[in-house]
Amino acid sequence: MQNARFSNVTCESLFEFDLSLENTEPGELVISWKGDEITVADDTGKLYDVFYQPTPRDPADCTKYKPIKEMSKTALAGKENYKIGIAVRGALPDSVKEFNVMIGKIGTRVQNAKWKIPVPR
């Protein structure tokens, strides 16, 4: 996860970040990655609406963001890098102190990855 940001976000999102996968090997890597493996919740357990846009993304064009559940990537070719921009939408209660970004499974290499991102106040 890269470039997590809360300020200057676009498309009515309250939190944005970039997510990148890279196959450093020469052969194909089967990952069977589906967007519903990505969830974002706050520290109270509330889930948020998550959208994605393949990069190079255009943050100014909100029509290019699609619901994350529609995303899928079956494999990465050798030396391929697949990067998406994530936009999290919803109302942020004043009591929220952090976001929890979770990826359930991307093939056999990434399982139950979690990041805790503090909310700047």
Reply yes or no on whether the pLDDT at 48 is more than 90: yes
Identify whether the C-beta of residue 1 lies closer than 8 Å to the C-beta of residue 19: yes
Identify whether the C-beta of residue 102 lies closer than 8 Å to the C-beta of residue 34: no
Quickly name the fold that domain 2-118 has: Immunoglobulin-like (2.60.40)
Pick 107 or 61 by higher pLDDT.
Answer: 61
Q: Which of 47, 61, 60 is nearest to 91 (CA)?
A: 47
Reply yes or no on whether the pLDDT at 108 is more than 80: no
Residue 98's pLDDT band (boundaries 50, 70, 90)?
A: very high
Give bridge partners of residue 67 from the DSSP assignment. 51
Helix (H, G, I), strand (E, B) or coil at 41: strand
* pTM for the whole structure: 0.85
Mean pLDDT of 51-77: 88
Reply yes or no on whether the pLDDT at 35 is more than 80: yes
